[in-house]
């Protein structure tokens, strides 16, 4: 019985091997997830801690303890512990061309924890660190099942990083996401490519009309969700989430007038 490690499963593709994890530890962890879904946070945390007592390398248990932590310091400490357990399993052969695909369920606990590391950095105002982390996730898992490209789209547009937004759009040219679509449209507009920008903006509005509409509202109210934790594609909840992430990039008068014109044509 060895330690947690990464094994190669083909050219540049790797997955985690969990040799010491037990069914008992996992059963306790999943019971904790059920409690968390039911709003029983205290009970959930107790179960996550119990799972860790049986298997100290349980990254998912540490990750969920981190996101339910009572304070920021505890959240960061638990997240760092979870991430480092994974990073310490990386062999020397794992390099910048190596892949850690989401399709392998064994990789998901680490990818979730690493994504949280990026969110913590972003929340703490460490934008450059967050950008580095999110791009690393895309490098490991180009399919981006976690949707970090949406976060990057918001960061790039909000910080006027137009060249970075262009690069990101080239990686995902047919992406069906309002953050990417509207972000790309605004980027073209800011780069002076107004004809192309308007064409792309109209496409974005056609795909996500409520997202275009909410950008023109002064103080949108968060809609009630029928299924907390889930987003309805094309729904009011998706529009509000988009506005929260990127709305401030569309406040300039020139941009608003351009948007209004595209909405009415």
pLDDT band of residue 226 (cuts 50, 70, 90) is: low
In this predicted structure, what is the pLDDT of residue 1? 43
Among the residue ranges 85-94, 102-111, 192-201, 224-233, the one predicted with the least confidence is: 224-233
Task: Evaluate whether 1-90+101-146 and 147-265 have a shared fold.
Answer: yes
Considering only CA atoms, give the Rg of the chain: 21
pLDDT of residue 121: 98
- pLDDT of 137 above 90: yes
**Does the structure show a pLDDT above 90 at 153?**
yes
Give the domain ranges of the chain. 1-90+101-146, 147-265
Please give the class, per CATH, of domain 1-90+101-146. mainly alpha
> 147-265, which class in CATH?
mainly alpha
Please choose, from the candidates 115, 105, 138, 98, the residue with its C-alpha nearest in 3D space to the C-alpha of residue 17. 105
How far apart are the C-alpha atoms of 193 and 18, rounded to whole Å? 51
Q: Which residue has the higher pLDDT, 114 or 21?
A: 114
What is the predicted pLDDT for the residue at 74?
96
The answer to whether residue 227 scores a pLDDT higher than 90 is no
Q: Is the pLDDT of residue 249 over 80?
A: yes
CA–CA gap between residue 62 and residue 68 (Å, rounded): 10
The rounded mean pLDDT for the chain is 94
User: pLDDT: is 185 or 2 the higher one?
Assistant: 185
Q: Of all residues in the chain, what percent carry a pLDDT higher than 90?
A: 88
Please work out, in degrees rounded to the nearest 5, the angle formed at the alpha carbon of residue 139 by the alpha carbons of 110 and 58: 5
CA triple 23-26-27, angle to 5 deg: 80
pTM of the model: 0.93
Residue 2 has pLDDT above 60, yes or no: no
């Amino acid at each position: 019985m060895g330690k947690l490690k990464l094994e190669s499963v083909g050219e540049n593709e790797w997955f985690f091997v969990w040799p010491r994890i037990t069914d008992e530890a996992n059963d306790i962890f999943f019971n904790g997830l059920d409690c968390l879904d039911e709003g029983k946070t205290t009970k959930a945390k107790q179960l996550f801690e119990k799972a860790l007592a049986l298997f100290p390398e349980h990254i998912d248990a540490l990750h969920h303890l981190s996101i339910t932590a009572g304070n920021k310091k505890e959240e960061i400490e638990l997240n760092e512990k979870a991430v480092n357990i994974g990073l310490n399993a990386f062999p020397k052969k794992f390099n910048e061309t190596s892949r850690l695909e989401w399709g392998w369920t064994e990789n998901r606990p680490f990818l979730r924890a690493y994504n949280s590391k990026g969110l913590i950095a972003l929340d703490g105002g460490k934008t450059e660190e967050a950008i580095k982390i999110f791009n690393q996730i895309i490098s490991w898992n180009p399919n981006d099942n976690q949707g970090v490209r949406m976060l990057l789209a918001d960061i790039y547009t909000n910080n006027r990083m137009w060249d970075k937004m262009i690069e990101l759009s080239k990686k995902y040219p047919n992406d069906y996401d309002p953050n990417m679509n509207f972000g790309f449209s605004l980027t073209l507009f800011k780069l002076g490519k107004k004809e192309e920008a308007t064409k792309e903006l109209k496409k974005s509005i056609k795909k996500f009309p409520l997202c275009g509409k909410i950008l023109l509202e002064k103080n949108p109210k968060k809609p009630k969700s029928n299924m907390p934790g889930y987003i309805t594609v094309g729904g009011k909840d998706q529009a509000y989430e988009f506005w929260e992430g990127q709305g401030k990039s569309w406040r300039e008068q020139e941009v608003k007038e351009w948007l209004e014109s595209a909405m009415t044509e």
